[in-house]
């Protein structure tokens, strides 16, 4: 169905006032990789890129003072924190390098002050388990960088 002139003007006004274009140039091969990943996840390329950006912006990381193997107890406690705060968080992940460095990442849905409560819960959980946090970094919380 064709848009009326008024609908077209309303959409253009909204775009001028509320949207900002971000030009993004990538090599054709890279675009094909992104498109394949987006297709695999059932998303359009634009939505896939926006989600990837949110993964970075709304991520909070804990570099840990020791290499930790994520045993079932740690996994269970983190999963419970995630479930208890599913309105704020959508996942957590962890990485360990061959040099013994470990990182724990929390991924939030948006920037809210309530996220700090979740961060504190995770810090308390790690502390109770004797896991040292070397530092914290989150783009959400500039005071903690």
Q: Find the CATH number of the domain harbouring 89.
A: 3.30.70.260
pLDDT at 140 (0 to 100): 55
What pTM, to 2 d.p., does this model score? 0.67
Q: Is 97 helix (H, G, I), strand (E, B) or coil?
A: coil
Residue 95 resides in a domain: yes
Evaluate whether residue 64 is within a structural domain.
yes
CB atoms within 10 A of CB 67: 12
Q: What angle do CA 125, 130, 132 make, to 5 degrees?
A: 90
Whether 35 maps to a domain, the answer reads no
- Residue 73's domain comprises 59-140
126 within domain boundaries: yes
- The segments of the chain whose pLDDT lies below 70 read 67-70, 139-145
pLDDT for 70: 65
Number of domains in the chain: 1
The per-residue pLDDT for 145 is 40
What pLDDT is attached to residue 89? 92
């Amino acid at each position: 169905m064709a848009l009326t002139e008024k609908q077209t003007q309303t959409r253009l006004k909204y775009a001028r006032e509320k949207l900002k274009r971000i030009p993004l140039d990538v090599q054709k091969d890279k675009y094909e990789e992104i498109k394949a990943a987006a297709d695999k996840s059932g998303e359009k390329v634009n939505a896939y890129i926006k989600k990837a950006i949110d993964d970075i912006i709304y991520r909070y990381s804990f570099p840990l003072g020791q290499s930790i193997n994520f045993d079932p107890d740690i996994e269970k406690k983190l999963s419970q924190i995630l479930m208890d705060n599913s309105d704020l968080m959508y996942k957590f992940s962890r990485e360990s390098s061959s040099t013994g460095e470990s990182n724990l990442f929390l991924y939030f849905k948006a920037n809210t002050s309530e996220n700090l409560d979740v961060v504190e819960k995770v810090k308390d959980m790690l502390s109770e388990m004797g896991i040292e946090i070397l530092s914290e970094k989150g783009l959400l919380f500039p005071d903690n960088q």
